[in-house]
Amino acid sequence: MLRYLPGPVRGSLSFLLYVINTIFWTTPLFIIAFLKLIIPVKGWRTFCNIVLTGLANNWIAVNNFNQWFTNKIHWDVTGLEGLKRNEWYMVLSNHQSWVDILVLQKIFYRKIPFLKFFIKKELIWVPILGLAWWALDFPFMKRYSSAFLEKNPHLKGKDLETTRKACERFKTIPMSVMNFVEGTRFTAEKHRKQGSPHINLLKPKAGGTAFVFQAMGEQIHRIVDVTIAYPGGAKGFWQFLCGKVHEIKVRVTSYPLGNELLGDYFNDVEFRERFHEWLNTLWEEKDRQIEHLLHSRALTSG
């Protein structure tokens, strides 16, 4: 197996496998997406969505095989019991690396409906992947700074309108809406600039999460809270391919979406304060959990 080859050789071969697999599955993906686009019939488009999801799941399955074939990783994952593929979920997770996406796709493969991420609009220009994300109805988000909105007030709320339209598309077949609540990957520099009160996390951003709850509250069956920890330190994608990630710990907790989390976040001040309190408490618990996961590794490796 490739996992016993030198790191750079293993990484190059693994990357080649990812590229071949991506091209193989995105070719029919683009064809179905085009047919879906030119035939504006609801039933037809629902059928196309089912086919597109099936193709995407096969894409992920081969990527998972690639990880097993090229890397020797100890997976410590708990909390997947009771999840179903025919329900709607809101998945909330911390974010440290691009590897997080591969981790989430692996652990949730055929456990819950296909994951759809909120993606920065600029990433639509990523070769092949950007078009694939578009074909799969991933919501592309354009975030505006407060300073920019002051100069362009007509764009206020545009990003939320994009979220609302994306949520409408999610209502046709069971879906898992994925949100990295911090809005960006954790780095020591971002942590310092934010003045985050957490040790291992950036400050959570509440607006997008609250808006999805408001738009899809009647359909989302459960919240899936995910905590990802890398005992050897979070690594980049190339380091992951080269076998520099030896252990990944994931803790999953799911619970029903209660009415107390449904409300008008942007116009109801009282609800907004309650929502912030809930999310901040969740993030404090997640930070303690990451500390425990990392500390338990230190004890066993000593």
d(CA 9, CA 145): 42
Q: What is the pLDDT of residue 13?
A: 94
The region of weakest confidence among 28-32, 138-142, 149-153, 214-218 is 149-153
Strands 247-256 and 222-229: antiparallel
| Alpha carbon distance 86, 164 (integer Å) | 22
In angstroms, rounded to a whole number, what is the distance separating the alpha carbons of residues 41 and 231? Answer: 49
Q: pLDDT of 121-135, one tens digit each?
A: 788 888 899 999 999
* Mean pLDDT (the chain, rounded): 88
In the chain, the amino acid numbered 47 is F
pLDDT tier for residue 212 given thresholds of 50, 70 and 90: confident
Q: Answer with the residue of higher pLDDT: 80 or 184.
A: 80
Mean pLDDT for 270-293 is: 95
Percent of the chain with pLDDT over 70: 89
120 or 262: whose pLDDT is higher?
A: 262
Topology annotation, domain 73-301: Glycerol-3-phosphate (1)-acyltransferase (3.40.1130)
pLDDT at 143: 62
The first and second tokens of residue 209, run together, are 């999460």
169 phi-psi bin (left φ>0, alpha ψ -120 to 50, beta other) = alpha
The confidence score (pLDDT) of residue 302 equals 35
- Position 1 confidence tier, pLDDT thresholds 50, 70, 90: low
**Tokens encoding 162:** 């994009």
**How far apart are alpha carbons 200 and 211 in whole angstroms?**
26
Model pLDDT for residues 188-201, shown as the tens digit of each residue: 999 999 999 999 99
Distance of CA 55 to the CA centre of its chain: 19
